[in-house]
Amino acid sequence: MSEFEVQIWGARGSIPVYHPDHQRAGCNTTCVSVRINGHISILDAGTGIVRLGDAIGGEASQDMDLFLSHYHYDHVLGLNFFPPLRSARTHLTVHGGTAHTGEGPQAILSKLFSQPFCPNELDSHPGRLTFESFATGDRIALKGGAHLIPYRLNHPSVAYGFRIEYRNRVFVFAPDFELGDAQGDAAMADMLRDADLAVLDTMFTPAEITEYRGYGHSSWQDVARICAASRVASWRLFHHAPSLTDSALDAIEAELRREFPDSGAAREGDLYVL
């Protein structure tokens, strides 16, 4: 096992999907795991977190951290169905920003997972949940020797991206952002600086982006430009639209690779070793 591994458990945006021509890209919403020296940090709790939980359910160590980019449904929906929470030996620390409403993650998530919206509340699990708040620019120590830095990005009701630094390697995760805002673009450029790998929101095609300006997402061509300017070694298309088929994603990936041969599309199950 490598010291620094990144795995995709959900790559869709907005809603999970199921259709035969969506299978290779995957059907679950946003969730990525980062394993550093055996310790697991989870980025977002979309429906993909259920698959992650099934995969790690038998591991001896269940002391994990979850970092939420924001609280939109597609990024938190799977939390209350995370299989390790069924075990009393699980401890999950949930980290969330406060720029959205001024409230911490416990207050916000407790509203979501409550009656009449959800039959079981977060505190109904045998596993232990604790909550921590973060702010832009914090340097958060991760178990395993890495550090995570959150960046506030341009997205409706605010979203964060995360830069994870371990020794001389850098991974960046930014699932929801829209380029074209001066402050947000400056934050993106700093977060992406000299990254080895980045997983980035490319929900819209260049043809769609004009129609969907203000929705809080980006096109792959705009993201390619900022990655090139920020000297990103390799990056992945992410937060795929629910309507995006495998063949359409293949075509976008082929076009991307003509200019960026080391980059491509993130698909459910992908494992990257840094």
pLDDT tens per residue across span 122-156: 889 999 999 999 999 999 999 889 999 999 999 99
Place of tokens 């980062």: 34
Class of residue 220 by CB neighbours under 10 A (exposed 0-12, middle 13-18, buried 19+) = buried
Calpha distance 5→244 (Å, rounded):
27
Interval 240-257: pLDDT, tens: 999 999 999 999 999 999
Residue range 206-215: average pLDDT?
86
pLDDT at position 215 is 84
Residue range 9-15: average pLDDT?
97
Residue range 221-249: average pLDDT?
96
Q: Single out the residue of 185, 109, 192, 93 nearest to residue 149, CA to CA.
A: 192
Percent of the chain with pLDDT over 90: 82
pLDDT at position 60 is 53
The answer to whether residues 107 and 98 touch, using CB atoms and an 8 Å cutoff, is no
Interval 44-83: pLDDT, tens: 999 999 999 999 986 755 789 999 999 999 999 999 999 9
What band does 1 get if pLDDT is binned at 50, 70 and 90? low
Residue range 109-133: average pLDDT?
92
Average pLDDT, the chain: 94
Rg (CA), the chain: 17
What band does 85 get if pLDDT is binned at 50, 70 and 90? very high
What are the φ and ψ backbone dihedral angles of 141, each rounded to 5 degrees? -75, 130
Percent of the chain with pLDDT over 70: 99
Q: Provide the pairing of β-strand 4-10 with 264-265.
A: unpaired
